[in-house]
Chain A
Amino acid sequence: MRYLLMLSMLLLSLILPGTVFSFWSWDGIKPDLIMLFTIYMALHHRPLYGAFWGLGAGILEDFYLGRHFGMYSLTLTGVALLSSWLAQRWNRENFPLITLLVFLVTFAGQVFVAFLSLGVGVQWTINDALRLITGVALYNAILVPVSYPWIHHSFGKGWLKYRPKYER
């Protein structure tokens, strides 16, 4: 059930930005749900597992988008590692702190995507790129208060909690 739920959330994170969030976009800015979900996964698992999750989610997104193969694999792996590193220093129960963490990590992840995109010839002005990066990071951070408490509770006591075989 746990893995089915995680897979469903991953697939929803893929399709929602292009559908539901195209109605809730601010001047073209929409959240990066896969990045948000990767951060949540990294916060609730060991760094290596988080990195593998980031890599897997990134590969899936690369295939889904069908262009710039490797861009999201590399970015989300980095995002997961950065989230794990911060999670070892910051308290996961402190929701405002997690909101800040999501903002910072998303910002870093989007800067990396922008860096790679500019590297492959996508033409953006620095101003627009900064606006987009900050916007996506803010949007992801705003989603934390409505999603993190539920996800955190689920990882601790709910369906997303890891149960060893002898407990099942």
Chain B
Amino acid sequence: MGKRRVSATGITVLVFFLILGVLVSIRLTGVGNHFPNPVGGALQRVLSPVEGVVLQVGNGIRNNTRAIWNFRTVEAENQALKQKVEQLTGDNIELKEQVLAGMRFNALDQGFFNSPTLSKYTKAGASIINRNPTAWYQTITLNRGSQDGVAVNNPIIAQYGLVGKVVAVTPSTSEVLLLTDGEGQVSALIRGSTGTATFGIVRGTFKRTSRLDADGNLQMLFRREDNVNIGDLVLTSGFGGVYPKDVPIGKVEQIQLEPSGLLKTAYIKPLEDLESLEEVYIVKKAEGQ
């Protein structure tokens, strides 16, 4: 009896099916998948304390030396602030508008965590331990996982408003897709100066203009006749089942008429500075709530 030989065709077929299997697996396990990942969970459990410490030290160094590394930016910021102060002092109407807007935000800030929609959910604080492990998605990793009751699709909020939602959970960590990533969308409403609500979908522009722009932005489409103005506040509408109602998202910064003339796009600046976040709140929300 001679040794059984493996033919080249056999190897090619085997490799073909292996690659096919991997491609199917890649397709099935996209962002927000529910496949169990115990190895990943164990890895995160071991590595997250180290990541947390490294990120904390890095944040400390960055915050304490920001003025040195970004001297030109700080200088420019200083100039801009001086101009702003002069402009605000000189323009009384502008000042009134700013004061009113400030009062509105303060009221929101104070009532935010006691709002009827948020008060019924448990909220847990979490620290950010990792930012965008790869540049392909705008994500952050939090130091709370399924052991702490975190589940996929739990909304993430911070002091002033919405940050994103959980897309993956391990026992000790969870991954959050930020608002600015184009892969996620939020059902939202804009409350105009008259108090009437206009509904729409907020999308991140991270993928639309330049996904590499870490600042990112949000945009929302409206009909031409909709009453939307610069400075209007954008809130979650509560539709879609993921985000609770009335969580602030951002403020309209710019409105542009589409070339067709039928629609207009509102460019929205998130209330939260997503780049400098260090702590967030996880809204523990069971499916369907």
Contacts and interface: CB of A to CB of B under 8 A. Distances in A.
B25 A69 contact: yes
A112 B140 CA distance: 24
B182 A63 contact: no
Contact of B213 (A27, A116, A117): A27
A28 B213 contact: yes
A13 B207 CA distance: 26
Contacts of A123: 182-183, 207
A60 interface: yes
A93 to B, nearest CB: 32
A122 B134 CA distance: 13
A145 interface: no
Contacts of B168: 66-67
Given A14-B47, A20-B58, A23-B58, A67 B133 contact: no
A27 B132 CA distance: 13
B132 A22 contact: yes
B131 A18 contact: yes
Interface string B55-69: 100100110000000
A15 B214 contact: no
Chain B interface extent, by class: 35 or more
A102 B30 CA distance: 28
Interface stretch (B31-39, B93-101, B224-232, B234-242): B31-39
Main secondary structure of the interface of B (DSSP, over half): mixed
Contacts of B170: 66
Contact of B23 (A16, A18, A70, A136): A70
B30 A28 contact: no
A117 B23 CA distance: 11
Contacts of B185: none
Nearest to B33: A67
B43 A122 contact: no
B19 A122 contact: no
Interface stretch (A83-91, A124-132, A149-157, A158-166): A124-132
A15 B47 contact: yes
A14 B175 CA distance: 15
Contacts of A94: none
Which of A18, A125, A132, A136 has the most chain B CB atoms inside 10 A of its CB?
A: A18
Contacts of A121: 30
Contact of A74 (B19, B55, B135): B19
A109 to B, nearest CB: 12
A73 interface: yes
B29 A132 contact: no
Contacts of A117: 136
Interface in A40-69: 60, 63-69
Nearest to A17: B133
Interface in B38-52: 39-40, 43-44, 47, 50-51
Contact of B54 (A20, A120, A131): A20
A65 B168 CA distance: 9
Given A23-B62, A28-B213, A68-B29, A18 B141 contact: yes
Q: Closest 10 A-B residue pairs measured CB to CB?
A: A70-B22, A18-B130, A18-B133, A28-B212, A63-B40, A19-B54, A22-B131, A63-B39, A70-B25, A69-B29
23 contacts: A14-B47, A18-B141, A19-B58, A19-B131, A23-B58, A27-B213, A30-B132, A30-B135, A64-B133, A65-B134, A66-B168, A67-B33, A68-B29, A68-B30, A70-B21, A74-B26, A119-B26, A121-B30, A122-B136, A123-B207, A124-B211, A128-B207, A132-B135
Interface of B: 19, 21-23, 25-27, 29-31, 33, 35, 37, 39-40, 43-44, 47, 50-51, 54-55, 58, 61-62, 129-137, 141, 168, 170, 175, 182-183, 207, 210-214
